[in-house]
Chains A and B, each alone.
Chain A
Amino acid sequence: MKRSLAIVSLACAAALVGSCGAEKPEVAEGRATLVLQAVDTSGVYSEGWSGVANASVEITSATFAYKHIFTTDEMGRIEIEGLASGDYYVQASMRDDENDVLLAGQRKMKLTSDAEEKDTLFMSFVPMSPIVINELYYAGCNASSFYFYDQYVELYNSTGDTLYLDGIVVCRSQQSQVLPPDSLETVDYALAYYMYQFPGTRGVTRECPIGPHEFIVIACDAINHYIYGGGLCVNLLNADYEFFNARANDYDNVSVPNIEQLTNSTVDFALNLAHTGVFIATGEEYTFIEHDGSSFVQVPLRTILDAVEYSATQGSTFRRYLTLRIDAGLGGNGMARYSGQSIERKVPGFDSNNSSFDFEIAGTPTPGYSH
């Protein structure tokens, strides 16, 4: 009896030993291999398509903190081993200062461990928008008083000619409750929460010039914020334009021209301190809609000149504000609220329509110039 009991007990113990837990996977993490062939499709260097030698290839993870820059070989080929599983942005660029050529290409790729992913990266001239958003300062400057009224948007004329901003609209995008989840990529417009327009009429008047390679600063409130907020707050007395909302109790610096609201919001122009999108459009075409008692603006993608989406938190789990077609990635990862920092293009005017690639955290804001 006692012996039987002992045997049964041992058998139970042995069964437990063998039965507990999930099975250990056999594939090891960090074994993904990426093989890329960078191809110049512009035809600038040779007839037809050819490999791009010495192109700088930036691999950025969309799911964790990983960013490394590699260089293609003479054939335009690159092989990267030891990557972890996840989604990656792959950005290639090749700057030829001698011939004043900038080629760029990008794609998003999903890598699984222990597998080799091969692809071709098509590079061509960067689709330069003549006017781009060059810097966004949205983080706020003084946490103890919740001070973030010194926000501004900086535009840049990347051409050698004087252009005119007349009639152009600046919009803060809306996370589209209007649209069902995952349907952002199925529509051909961006949704704006509020929209401000430069004076004049596009193609008709010439009231708002922006010179060649000039920066234009549009302040939320064009005052010296250091006086009110102290700390890291920015002096915006020299701003070129000021967002003004006549419906809100908005301060107006009369010595700074206004750009005024087209929508019916009753609050001053402000950017979210952590995550939102900003875009500029020609202002030639847009549609007001109502949804659940709120009004929004549908702006056709074809009229959008530039768009930037930023998020303090990295990751692909967040619902996007802007379609990948106008901004493939998120800028400003890791930037804290009230840190007194801005995001700025790495190179003024360089716009590959991927903010995670084009923008970097600039540190101290630089209104009216580049770092």
Chain B
Amino acid sequence: MERCCTVKTCGLVAAVSAVLLAAWASPAKCDGIRTSAMGNCSIALEDPDNQINPYDYGRNPAYLGLDFERAWIRYAFSVSEQQGDLRRPYDPHLLNTTFAEFKGRKHLNDRQAVSGSFRYERLWQREQWHSLEIDPYNDPFYLTDLTTGDITHWGPLMSADYSLRLSPQASIGVGFDYGISTGLKDYYTKPQIEHNYARGSVGLLLQPRAEWHFGLIARPMRLQNRTSFDGTNENRDLIIHRYYGDGIYDIRTFSAYSMTEKMRGIGIDVQNFVTTDRVKVGTIFTYDYAENKLEGKTSPPEQIGYWQDKTLDFKFLARYTPENTPLVLGVNGRSMNCSGWANRPKFEGVVLFDNPIQLRSLGAGASYTIRPAGLTVAADYVLNSYDIEANDYGANDFKAQEFIQNVGKLGVEYAAYNVFSVRGGVEVTDYIADRWLKLPVNTDRYRFTAGGSYAWHLWQVDAVIAYGRDTQNDTDAQRRDLGGMVWFTHLE
């Protein structure tokens, strides 16, 4: 029913980098606040926001009208913060994300439904070492100066979905996500970083049989990041290092300059969902293609870098509910092959960076509800097998890691009188994956979550708080995160 950013994934950078770390670790990821508070258990936990249907599992806008029954509006507030030195070199020492959001969903008539959201967000990258981009890890090209400073990004994010039922067996839908932000670094070289992200989705949903939904989605996207320098108050020259991978860089001295990266891409999803009384199965085959072109502002514009990313991804999620028991069993799996490569446009016949990734994943979960006591217990275990290479030919730096990632989750909820509930959970990730292989190897993550809800007339208040800690055996460095979010939902 619901798809909204959680404490874990919210942020302007989420559109790019969070996909790499968080989403890979959890194929059946759900963004509901209830599952977030229950340790992110999602494989077998039945929840209105975590159903095996084309909208919750595959965000097919054509299914929007069938995904909810009552209209609602919601106000959400969130604050989260990560801090610590167990990070990649260009991650900020402290990352603070705050947003306020308004969201709503409504049936226009029997055949049409809409949802929309508007959020205003602040992303505060503190003690950012050298990097001058909102996300230096979206390709092998990046800009740096020689200072450390705070960068604050402000901006709105909007999204909208619309579905239209053409017939009892066919629906179409369209969706749009748009985000824009402006970031300023408070210290020499004082760049202005403009981030602009747009993604559309056009979905088709067919129901050849009562128990079978077949969906198709096309998702064009465009992302533009521009880092511009208008000079400093001190009138000093701007000394910028432009990196092409980690080994090749040039030093540029300017009084004013700007560099733009424009990423364009398209994603195609083919979805199948089968639902019977006891069994629900969802499969999604995804093809994603994106190319990123970096350009310096000169006359004529100077081509700086080219990056291409292709992903073939197949995932499934299935649940089985045995007869006359409050038990739900679930399995999920994923097979993903991603291949990214880069070159320098001046030397087109030469590959600069090569980044193939292979993920094979299998998970199982169970949830059990003790009705009289109002107690629900859920547990997931996911085994991810990663094979990642990060070959920086320009730097003669060749990295490869083949490792098993274990993810365990446990969640508990106590609900009483359909009025309030208390939730808690823990999530342990053994070996966080980083596609660039720049995070210290075998970094583990422990997350503890808690939350609750309270219903009063047509209002419902949900809250979640999460504390996380990343550790690694060979170093004393750690990274901690703490965040919370509150929803105020009014049913219409």
Q: Which residues of A contact B (CB under 8 A)?
A: 2-3, 5-6, 9-10, 13, 16-17, 20-22, 24-31, 63-66, 82, 84-86, 112-114, 143-144, 146, 274, 312-315, 317, 333-339
Contacts and interface: CB of A to CB of B under 8 A. Distances in A.
B239 A20 contact: no
Contacts of A66: 248
A16 B208 contact: no
A99 B396 CA distance: 41
Nearest to A3: B208
Contact of B206 (A2, A65, A86): A2
Given A13-B287, A64-B249, A25 B343 contact: yes
A30 B395 contact: yes
B286 to A, nearest CB: 10
Interface in B239-287: 239, 241, 244-245, 247-255, 266, 268, 270, 285, 287
A5 B241 CA distance: 52
15 contacts: A2-B169, A6-B214, A9-B204, A9-B270, A16-B289, A22-B291, A29-B351, A30-B394, A66-B248, A85-B350, A112-B350, A313-B251, A314-B251, A337-B235, A338-B234
Contact of A143 (B236, B245, B251, B393): B236
A114 B362 CA distance: 41
Given A21-B289, A143-B235, A317 B302 contact: yes
A27 B343 CA distance: 10
B393 A31 contact: yes
Given A2-B208, A6-B214, A336-B237, A13 B250 contact: no
B250 A63 contact: yes
Interface in B314-349: 341, 343-344, 346-349
A24 B343 CA distance: 9
B235 A144 contact: yes
Contact of B350 (A17, A113, A334): A113
A29 to B, nearest CB: 4
Contacts of A317: 298, 302
Contacts of A31: 393
Contacts, number: 133
A103 B247 CA distance: 32
A64 B237 contact: no
A66 B208 CA distance: 63
A241 B270 CA distance: 80
Given A22-B291, A337-B236, A312 B351 contact: no
B397 to A, nearest CB: 9
B14 interface: no
B340 to A, nearest CB: 10
Given A143-B234, A333-B251, A337-B237, 13 more contacts: A10-B270, A17-B268, A21-B291, A21-B310, A25-B351, A30-B393, A63-B250, A86-B347, A313-B253, A317-B298, A336-B253, A337-B235, A337-B255
A124 B151 CA distance: 54
A25 B253 contact: no
B18 interface: no
Interface residues of B, number: 53
B193 interface: no
Given A25-B349, A31-B393, A334-B239, A17 B302 contact: no
Nearest to B249: A65
Nearest to A139: B237
A29 B253 contact: no
Lowest 10 CB-CB distances: which A-B pairs, in order? A336-B237, A312-B253, A29-B393, A143-B235, A20-B289, A64-B250, A337-B237, A28-B393, A334-B251, A30-B393
Given A29-B393, A29-B394, A84 B247 contact: yes
Contacts of B306: 22
A25 B270 contact: no
Contacts of B352: 29
A315 B287 contact: no
A82 B254 CA distance: 31
A352 B294 CA distance: 37
Contacts of B169: 2
B216 interface: yes
Interface of B: 169, 204, 206, 208, 214, 216, 234-239, 241, 244-245, 247-255, 266, 268, 270, 285, 287, 289, 291, 298, 302, 306, 308, 310, 312, 341, 343-344, 346-352, 354, 391, 393-396
A275 B438 CA distance: 38
Contacts of A86: 347
Contacts of A333: 251
A65 B351 contact: no
Contacts of A30: 247, 393-396
A311 B387 CA distance: 45
Contacts of B245: 29
A144 B232 CA distance: 10
Contacts of B298: 317
Contacts of A143: 234-236
A318 to B, nearest CB: 10
Contacts of B347: 29, 85-86, 112-113
B279 to A, nearest CB: 21
A329 to B, nearest CB: 15
A267 B415 CA distance: 84
A348 B27 CA distance: 66
Contacts of B344: 29, 85
Nearest to A18: B287
Contacts of B234: 143-144, 338
Nearest to A25: B351
Contact of A338 (B237, B343, B391): B237
B236 A336 contact: yes
A323 to B, nearest CB: 24
B350 A29 contact: yes
A10 B285 CA distance: 10
Contact of A25 (B241, B268, B348, B391): B348
Contacts of B253: 274, 312-313, 334-337
Contacts of B249: 64-65
A178 B266 CA distance: 50
B350 A339 contact: no
B403 to A, nearest CB: 25
Contacts of B216: 9, 13
A315 B255 contact: no
A27 B236 CA distance: 41
Given A274-B237, A333-B251, A25 B244 contact: no
A315 B343 CA distance: 18
Nearest to B309: A21
A354 to B, nearest CB: 19
A338 B235 contact: yes
B289 A25 contact: no
A28 B343 CA distance: 9
A64 B289 contact: no
Given A5-B206, A17-B287, A85-B347, A315 B250 contact: yes
B252 A314 contact: yes
Contact of A16 (B214, B266, B285, B354): B266
Contacts of B291: 21-22
Given A16-B287, A25-B350, A336 B244 contact: no
A107 B137 CA distance: 38
B237 A339 contact: yes
B12 to A, nearest CB: 27
A28 B289 contact: no
Nearest to B169: A2
Contacts of B241: 65
Nearest to A1: B208
A26 B348 CA distance: 11
Given A113-B347, A313-B254, A16 B268 contact: yes
